[in-house]
């Protein structure tokens, strides 16, 4: 079943055409990766799907409904949740309060239930519950950012570069957690990554974005074998 469908999406910043008529879809239960170099339009695509950036053309469908005009709040309510680039946690709030902000539109009882799942996935967030988020390590802050997104009970979790700036061991942990989130919470994932190898290893399908256009797509297995992808994104 198609959960998210993006049709001929175009997004501009003034005269800069960041995303040019791209079409792609994400099916229920899939992990789909968008790979691309710096400036390819990955963040712009995700921000637009999340309702944080206006689009200049095309349509977004959610569960078959036209979601093109939905604002960010509506998107979150419907289960479209973004964990933004650069671990945007609230530094002067505790870990616990950061998590609760993610669940603001649910009851406390409901949040305590989700919190238990989040704590199972990220035990460090329970251990450091009272610590100010700004004093967490980079990896811990990334886990908090993902944990906060999970508190919104996403149907589609969009992760913008969750591995950015993290040590290799932590990167591995984050990627294996993404798999667990799908397995244990049944969450569909749209992943943006510059770490193409790891992203392709854990995802089902992928799209390659090149200066605002999708130039290649296929199963992640296929793309890992593709000479073009190997040369441009896997450093082979």
Is 83 among the residues that bind Mg ion (CB under 5 A)?
Answer: no
Strand stretches in the chain, DSSP E = 2-13, 16-27, 31-35, 57-62, 65-66, 80-83, 156-160, 188-193, 205-210, 213-219
Candidates 44, 111, 153, 195: give the one binding ligand ATP (CB under 6 A).
44
Choose the binding region for Mg ion from 40-48, 58-66, 107-115, 200-208 (rule: CB under 5 A).
40-48
Is 104 among the residues that bind ligand ATP (CB under 6 A)?
Answer: no
Binds 13, which of ligand ATP, Mg ion, none (CB < 5 to 8 A, cut-off by type)? ligand ATP
Is 43 among the residues that bind Mg ion (CB under 5 A)?
Answer: yes
Total residues found in the chain within this entry: 236
C-alpha closest to that of 147 among 166, 125, 132, 179: 125
* Per-residue binder mask for ligand ATP (CB under 6 A), 173-212, x = binder: ---------------------x------------------
Q: What is the DSSP string of 103-140?
A: TTTS-HHHHHHHHHHHHHH-HHHHHTTTSBGGGS-HHH
Nearer to ligand ATP, 125 or 191 (CB): 191
Is 47 among the residues that bind Mg ion (CB under 5 A)?
Answer: no
* Per-residue binder mask for ligand ATP (CB under 6 A), 13-42, x = binder: x--x-x-----------------x-xxxxx
C-alpha closest to that of 72 among 90, 58, 60, 85: 60
């Amino acid at each position: 079943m198609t959960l998210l469908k993006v049709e001929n999406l175009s997004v501009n910043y003034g005269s800069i055409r960041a995303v040019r008529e791209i079409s792609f879809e994400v099916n229920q239960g899939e992990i789909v990766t968008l790979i691309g170099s710096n400036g390819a339009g990955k963040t712009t695509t995700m921000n637009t799907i999340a309702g944080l950036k206006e689009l200049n053309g095309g349509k977004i469908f959610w569960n078959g409904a036209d979601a093109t005009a939905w604002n960010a709040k509506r998107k979150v309510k419907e289960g479209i949740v973004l964990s933004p680039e650069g671990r945007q946690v609230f530094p002067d709030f505790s870990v616990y309060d950061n998590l609760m902000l993610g669940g603001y539109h649910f009851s406390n009882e409901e949040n305590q239930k989700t919190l238990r799942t989040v704590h199972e996935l990220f035990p460090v967030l329970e251990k450091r519950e009272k610590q100010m988020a700004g004093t967490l390590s980079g990896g811990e802050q990334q886990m908090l950012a993902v944990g906060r997104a999970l508190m919104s009970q996403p149907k589609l979790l969009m992760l913008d570069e969750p591995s950015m700036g993290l040590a290799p061991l932590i990167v591995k942990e984050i990627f294996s957690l993404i798999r667990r989130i799908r397995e244990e919470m049944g969450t569909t994932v749209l992943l943006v990554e510059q770490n193409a190898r790891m992203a392709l290893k854990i995802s089902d399908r992928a799209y390659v974005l090149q200066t605002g256009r999708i130039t290649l797509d296929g199963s992640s297995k296929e793309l890992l074998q593709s000479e073009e992808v190997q040369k441009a994104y896997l450093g082979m």
